[in-house]
Amino acid sequence: MKAVVFAAPIPTYILTKLAGAVSPGLFLGPHACTRLTQVDAPALPGDRWVRIRTRLGGVCGSDLAIVTLSASPSTSPLSSFPFVLGHENVGDVVEIGAGVRGVTIGQRVVVNPLLACIARGIEPPCAGCAAGLPSRCEHFTDGALAPGMMIGTTRGLGGSWGESFVAHESQVLPVPDGMTDEAALMVEPFACAVHAIRADLPAAGERALVIGAGSIGLVTLAALRALAPAAHVTVLARHGFQEEAARKLGAETVVRGGSFAELAKAGGTRLLQPILGPPIGVGGFDRTYVCVSGAGAVGNALRFTRAGGVVTLLGNVTTLAGIDWSPVWLKELTLRGSVTYGRHAGASTDAFREALDLIATGRAPLGPLVTHTFPLAEVGKALAAASGKKGSGSIKVALRP
């Protein structure tokens, strides 16, 4: 089958890094770490596994970080090479193992790509999985599968940037007939946002700031509107088309371009000017969600979150230089990380299923966020559209294998 495969032996890694610095298009190619090629379709690892023919595979910021070799080396033990990229997905079940009971051939499905204890055959489950928080699984490198946190980073299972991939039956959720493929594709990124918001739900009347209005920022906004409708949400956006999307999804305030004065007004922040450097803030937002990866975004979060407030990192923040961390202790901020999905107090189900239900019932109309689709053969154009948002106007880019 055709698939986009990633592998990073040291010589290839070095050459790709050098070539990509000259031209970003050279991060993809027959001699690069990432390449479009023919591979064997993955076998079912066991009798409780199913094969899915991909309808759409989303391009995530974490995928772009892998392709451009900017992902943190700390994540490398949670991968196994070579792997087919792609964890955002919607597809059709085309094969089932002999022990599968809850999934039938022909169903259109989305797959929770997380490869925690159940999928890995670990018994008894670790503390995180037993608590309903498989994002905290202790066994992403163990069990019956190759190391990897999720489908799309693990050898032998395929990914949604290929014509088919395999999944454990526990990972598979049927897609309602009335839901478009584009809306179904948004379930996985939306589930990440539902997980983050459920973990620290804003109270009525609280002010929330979403920094970034790409796909993760917009699904975080949608999760706030669905789960904390009485909170006031401000979105910091870079581009006009992002501002338009944020307003459609219910942002009360949208600030363009990182204006300190406008952010201070929206958050009720009083800015104090130090001897050197940018201003520091007194008062501000109760909850801030950082949905991009840059140092400026983290700095703004620390500056505009009130004393005792909470800053949640969702945007693949890695190694950053030039951040003044003193507001963390000076304002007694809580800094939280959030990744993938789990189940939280107050929710009737886990974040992945809740995300599917919220989209299906119209409470989170996210299908229009899929702005660009490309055939697999045009993966280079897809990556260019996803990374060059200003020129392409892209929010969510998808491949159609």
**One pLDDT digit (tens) per residue for the chain, 401 residues:** 999 999 999 999 999 999 999 999 999 999 999 999 999 999 999 999 999 999 999 999 999 999 999 998 899 999 999 999 999 999 999 999 999 999 999 999 999 999 999 999 999 999 999 999 999 999 999 999 999 999 999 999 999 999 999 999 999 999 999 999 999 999 999 999 999 999 999 999 999 999 999 999 999 999 999 999 999 999 999 999 999 999 999 999 999 987 899 999 999 999 999 998 889 999 999 999 999 988 999 999 999 999 999 999 998 888 788 899 999 999 999 999 999 999 998 899 999 999 999 999 999 999 999 999 999 999 999 999 999 999 999 999 999 99
Query: What is the C-alpha to C-alpha distance for residues 20 and 105, in angstroms, rounded to an integer?
Result: 42
Domain map (residue ranges) of the chain = 2-114+149-186+366-400, 192-337
Query: What is the C-alpha to C-alpha distance for residues 214 and 385, in angstroms, rounded to an integer?
Result: 13
287 touches 202 (CB < 8 A): yes
pLDDT value at residue 203: 97
Q: What residues contact 338, with CB distance under 8 A and at least 6 apart? A: 192, 195, 196, 199, 312, 313, 314
Q: Judge residue 241's burial from the number of C-beta atoms within 10 Å of its C-beta, 0-12 exposed, 13-18 middle, 19 or more buried.
A: middle
Q: Does domain 192-337 have CATH number 3.40.50.720?
A: yes
Q: What residues contact 281, with CB distance under 8 A and at least 6 apart? A: 264, 267, 269, 270, 271, 272, 303, 304, 305, 306, 327
pLDDT value at residue 317: 83
Give the 3-state secondary structure of 233-281: EEEEECCHHHHHHHHHCCCCEEEECCCHHHHHHHHCCEEECCCCCCCEE
165 touches 54 (CB < 8 A): yes
Query: What is the C-alpha to C-alpha distance for residues 186 and 180, in angstroms, rounded to an integer?
Result: 10
267 touches 207 (CB < 8 A): yes
The DSSP H or E segment spanning 168 is: strand 164-168
* ∠ Cα 64 69 71 (to 5°): 75
* ∠ Cα 255 218 168 (to 5°): 160
**Same fold yes or no, 2-114+149-186+366-400 and 192-337:** no
* ∠ Cα 154 157 158 (to 5°): 90
Residue 177: both structure tokens together = 């007939």
Class of domain 2-114+149-186+366-400: alpha beta
Scored b (16 or more CB within 10 A) or e, 105-120 reads: eebbbbbbbbbbbbbb
297 touches 315 (CB < 8 A): yes
Neighbours of 330 (CB within 10 A): 12
Q: What residues contact 269, with CB distance under 8 A and at least 6 apart? A: 263, 281, 282, 283, 284, 285, 303, 304, 306
The residues pairing with 167 across neighbouring beta strands, listed in sequence order, are 50
CA-closest candidate to residue 63, choices 339, 316, 389:
316
